[in-house]
């Protein structure tokens, strides 16, 4: 059964162009040039219960606009959508209690107050019973290892610490659908890994449906099983993560080291040299004849060690963006 259904959804923004200076402002009082920006163009997709989906696209592709429509923040220009059987545009209280949205560059917690004050307020807003709230707060703060930070002013915490508390605030009412817009932006690798583990556990334990937008492909690789790619407001790809890698990655990356010095020119006949030094190289090899290439390489040179990897996901996604 689909938790999220989207059919021919579109969003067009209307804005006006104004010439610079005082004259431009005066003329705009009487005649303004109206412009349109089609942020989302007739997109359709369905997401099932418990799916963790990566929603990818370059800046301005329509990702955040789509999430805002699905959460009811924006009304669509045309098309239909359903989340948990509700029309998000109506913003019914029962609907709002079952979803949550986290935006990495915006905060729902008061910056000058300790996090616990904001969390207590969210408890009242979502009408979470006291005993359930305390139990859930203890569980979530323990998983995120922030028990000692609940009574510290938010402005005195690091970005990673604040992001953990933002996630706790978003999950206090145990939402069945979670929209995440760049939740790890600006975080160090340790904070990112903690959030990956936290979100993965929450997804599996609560069978929550999660849509994640991120420019960090490590976020996507560690969390998502399915990718939806949007560009210029249109969906250009909807496939499993494994399917995308298999479909678009025609090469393998061979990392090889040598006992003796090897010139770059000697290796060029095996494949595209990505980088090299005298004692090591990174080579892109066609998957179709990789065994023959490796056998020949090992027979010709004093190979110390080698390993084979898939092409990096960010390179695959970048190529998809370019091809459109």
Asked if residue 57 is part of any domain, the answer here is yes
* Coil, strand or helix at 38: strand
Is residue 212 a contact partner of residue 205, using CB atoms and an 8 Å limit?
no
The last residue of one of the domains, among 246, 273, 295, is 246
User: pTM for the complete prediction?
Assistant: 0.81
Q: Which SS3 state, helix, strand or coil, does residue 207 take?
A: coil
8 Å CB contact between 36 and 13: yes
pLDDT at 184: 81
Question: Is there a single domain that holds both residue 216 and residue 270?
Answer: no
185 and 46 within one domain? yes
Residue 27's pLDDT is what? 76
If one counts the domains in the chain, the total is 2
Residues 211 and 308 in one domain: no
pLDDT for res 10:
96
User: What dihedral do alpha carbons 60, 64, 70, 71 form, nearest 10°?
Assistant: -150
CB 258 within 8 A of CB 302: yes
193 and 289 housed in the same domain: no
- The answer to whether the beta carbons of residues 141 and 151 sit under 8 Å apart is no
Q: What is the DSSP letter of 123?
A: H
- Predicted confidence at residue 121, as pLDDT, reads 93
Q: What is the three-class DSSP state of 309?
A: strand
Say if CB 306 and CB 294 are below 8 A apart: yes
CA proximity to 169, closest of 110, 228, 241, 87: 110
Interatomic CA distance for residues 134 and 149, integer angstroms: 16
Question: Could you read off the pLDDT tens digit of each residue along the chain, which spans 324 residues?
Answer: 789 999 999 999 987 777 777 777 777 777 777 888 899 999 999 999 999 999 998 888 899 999 999 999 999 999 999 999 999 999 999 999 999 998 866 778 898 999 999 999 999 999 999 999 999 999 888 878 889 999 999 999 888 888 889 889 999 999 999 999 888 877 778 878 888 888 998 899 889 999 999 888 888 888 999 999 999 999 999 999 888 887 877 778 888 888 888 888 888 888 888 888 878 888 888 777 888 888 888 888 888 888 887 777 877 888 887 776
Residues 317 and 209 in one domain: no
Contacts 24+ apart (CB under 8 A), 275-279: 279/304
* Assigned domain for 23 exists: no
Indicate whether 236 and 99 sit together in one domain. yes
Vertex 287: Cα angle to 281 and 290 (nearest 5): 60
Question: Could you give the CA distance from residue 89 to residue 82 in angstroms, rounded to a whole number?
Answer: 9
Residue 77's CATH number: 3.40.50.300
Question: Residue 16 falls within a domain, yes or no?
Answer: no
Whether 270 and 299 map to the same domain: the answer is yes
Q: What secondary structure letter does DSSP report for 157? A: S
Residue 324 has a pLDDT of 63
Domain boundary among 229, 246, 263: 246
- My answer on whether 143 and 288 are in the same domain is no
Per the DSSP assignment, residues forming a β-bridge with 251 are 286
The reply to whether 28 falls in a domain is no
Q: Is the distance from CB of 36 to CB of 48 less than 8 angstroms?
A: no
* Domain final residue pick, 246, 266, 289: 246
Cα–Cα distance for residue pair 31/23, rounded to 1 Å: 12
The CATH number for 283's domain is 3.30.70
172 assigned to some structural domain: yes
- CA-CA distances (angstroms) from residue 6 to 2, 42, 87, 171, 245? 10, 9, 11, 24, 25
Q: Do residues 106 and 229 both lie within one domain?
A: yes
Rounded CA separation 210/178 (Å): 5
Instruction: For residues 159 and 280, state if they share a domain.
Output: no
**Residues 259, 292, 289, 240: is their CA dihedral positive or negative?**
negative
pLDDT for 77 equals 95
Is the domain of 239 the same as that of 262?
no
- Parallel, antiparallel, or unpaired: how do β-strands 303-310 and 251-258 relate? antiparallel
Instruction: Measure the CA–CA gap between 61 and 183, rounded to whole angstroms.
Output: 18
Which of 71, 97, 73, 74 lies closest to 82, judged by CA? 71
Neighbours of 145 (CB within 10 A): 12
Residue at 192 is within a domain? yes
Q: In residues, how long is the chain?
A: 324
Which pLDDT score is estimated for 105?
Answer: 67
Query: Looking at the domain assignment, is residue 27 inside a domain?
Result: no
Residue 315 and residue 167 share a domain:
no
pLDDT value at residue 304: 87
Domain around 292? 249-323
**In this structure, is residue 22 part of a structural domain?**
no
């Amino acid at each position: 059964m689909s938790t999220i259904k989207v059919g021919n959804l579109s969003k067009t923004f209307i804005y006006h162009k104004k010439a610079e200076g005082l004259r431009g402002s005066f003329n705009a009082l009487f005649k303004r040039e109206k412009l349109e920006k089609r942020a989302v163009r007739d997109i359709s997709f369905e997401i099932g219960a418990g799916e963790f989906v990566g929603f990818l696209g370059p800046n301005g592709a329509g990702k955040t606009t789509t999430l805002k429509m699905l959460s009811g923040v924006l009304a669509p220009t045309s098309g239909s959508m359903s989340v948990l059987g509700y029309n998000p545009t109506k913003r019914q209280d029962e609907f709002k209690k079952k979803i949550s949205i986290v935006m990495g560059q915006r905060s729902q917690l008061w910056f000058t107050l300790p996090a616990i004050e904001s969390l207590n307020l969210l408890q009242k807003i979502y009408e979470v019973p006291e005993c359930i709230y305390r139990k859930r707060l203890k569980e979530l703060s323990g998983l995120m290892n922030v028990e000692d930070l609940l009574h510290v002013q938010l402005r005195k915490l690091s970005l990673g610490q604040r992001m953990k508390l933002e996630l706790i605030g978003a999950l206090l009412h145990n939402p069945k659908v979670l929209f995440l817009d760049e939740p790890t932006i600006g975080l160090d690798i340790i904070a990112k890994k903690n959030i990956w583990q936290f979100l993965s556990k929450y997804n599996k334990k609560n069978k929550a449906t999660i849509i994640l937008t991120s420019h960090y492909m490590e976020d996507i690789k560690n969390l998502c099983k399915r990718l939806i790619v949007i560009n210029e407001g249109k969906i250009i790809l909807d496939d499993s993560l494994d399917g995308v890698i298999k479909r678009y990655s025609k090469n393998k990356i061979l990392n090889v080291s040598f006992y003796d010095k090897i010139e770059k020119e000697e290796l060029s006949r095996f494949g595209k040299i990505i980088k090299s030094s005298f004692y090591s190289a990174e080579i892109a090899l066609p998957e179709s004849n990789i065994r023959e290439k490796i056998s020949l390489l090992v027979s010709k040179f004093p190979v110390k060690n080698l390993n084979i990897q898939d092409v990096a996901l960010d390179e695959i996604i970048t190529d998809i963006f370019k091809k459109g």
